[in-house]
Amino acid sequence: MALPQAIKQQKLLLAEGKDELHFLDQLLKTINIPDVQIIDIGGKDKFRPSLPTITALSGFRSVVRLGIIRDAETDAAGTLASVQQSLKENGLTAPQHSGVVLANAMPQIGIWIMPDNRRAGCIEDLCWDGISEADPRRGCAEMFMGCLGERLEKKAGPPGCSATAYYFPKQAAKAKLHAYLAGLYEPQRELGRAAQADVWDLRLSAFAGLRNFLIELFQ
C-alpha cells in the first residue's frame, strides 16, 4: 500500500491538477532543478480550502521556498488577488505581483498566473504558444475550432446542461490544444503526459518567462 504523501522537500510547488504537476515536473527537469516537490491541489476551486491543510502538514514548517501556479481563467489580476488573500489568511506573506519572488520572507514565495501573469487563460494557452507556427497540425486544430464555431451555438449553454449539448466548448483553449494532441503521430490524451513525452521543447522562448521564474524561486 502506498504511503500517504508527506512534504519531504524544502522547496514546494503547488499546482492545480495532474496536468500541471506533470508539466511542471518536466519543466523543472529541463532546467535541472531536481529537489522541488510538487503537490497537486486537485483543482482550481481547491486551492483556497486546501491551503490551511497544506500549511498544517508535517514538513511544511521546513519549507523555505514556496511556489504557487494558478490559471488566470478570465481574470489574471483577480486570481492573483485571491491567492494573495489565501496566503495572508494562513499567516504567509504574499508577494505584491505575480512572476516575482518575495525573497525577504520565510518561506520565500512566488506566484505564477498562467499563461503569462497578464492575459486571461490557462496552461493550455502557454502550451499552445509553444507550438511552432510551422507545425501543420497547429492550423488543423485552428480549423477544427473554426468548424465547431460554425456548427455550434457560440453562446454558453444553460447551467447544468449536458456535456454533449450542441454548444461551443466552454474551455476553448483546452479543446484546441487537445485537438492538436489528438493529431500527433502518437496521440496524447493529457497535456502533462504530453510534456513528459517531449511534445514540446521546453527550452523555447515561449516558456522562458515561467522557466526564469522557477529558476529565480528554486535555484
Partner 1 sequence: MIDLLTLKNYKTFKRLALGQFSRFTLLGGMNDVGKTSILTAIYIYTARLQPAMANLAAMRSQNSPTWAETYFHGFSPSAEKQIEIGVVRSGVSGRVEIQYDPAVQVGALLDNGLQNRLPENHPPSMLDPSRVAAEFGLMSGEQNLPALRMRWFEGDEQKSDIYWMLPPAKPGMYVKYSLPGIPAPSALLFPFMRELPDAAARSLSELVKVGAAAEITSHVKMLFPHIQDLTPVLTEPGKGTVLADVGLPKPVPISELGEGAKEALNLMLTIPRIRGGVLLCDELGAGIHASILPRFVQSIAAIAGKYDCQIIATTHSYELLSAAYEAFAQDGMNHGDLTYIRLDRTSSATVLPTVFNYEKLGIALSNDWEVR
Give me the residues that bind partner 1 (CB under 8 A), please: 2-7, 39-40, 42, 46, 49-50, 52-54, 56-59, 61
Distance of closest approach, residue 5 Cβ to partner 1, in angstroms: 5
Q: Which C-beta is closer to partner 1: that of 41 or that of 181?
A: 41
Cis check: omega of the bond before 52, within 30 degrees of 0: no
Yes or no: say if 38 and 24 are a contact pair by the CB < 8 Å rule. yes
Cis check: omega of the bond before 187, within 30 degrees of 0: no
Distance of closest approach, residue 111 Cβ to partner 1, in angstroms: 21
Distance of closest approach, residue 148 Cβ to partner 1, in angstroms: 35
Q: Which C-beta is closer to partner 1: that of 7 or that of 131?
A: 7
Q: Which C-beta is closer to partner 1: that of 86 or that of 117?
A: 86
Q: Which C-beta is closer to partner 1: that of 59 or that of 169?
A: 59
Distance of closest approach, residue 43 Cβ to partner 1, in angstroms: 11
Q: Which C-beta is closer to partner 1: that of 9 or that of 50?
A: 50
Report the SS3 class of residue 113.
strand
CA distance 88 to 188: 39
CA distance 110 to 98: 7
Q: Which C-beta is closer to partner 1: that of 13 or that of 177?
A: 13
Distance of closest approach, residue 172 Cβ to partner 1, in angstroms: 29
Number of other CB atoms surrounding residue 4 within 10 Å: 6
Instruction: Classify residue 43 by burial, with Cβ atoms within 10 Å: 0-12, 13-18, 19+.
Output: exposed
Yes or no: say if 74 and 33 are a contact pair by the CB < 8 Å rule. no
First-residue to last-residue Cα distance in the chain: 34
Distance of closest approach, residue 50 Cβ to partner 1, in angstroms: 5
Number of other CB atoms surrounding residue 195 within 10 Å: 25
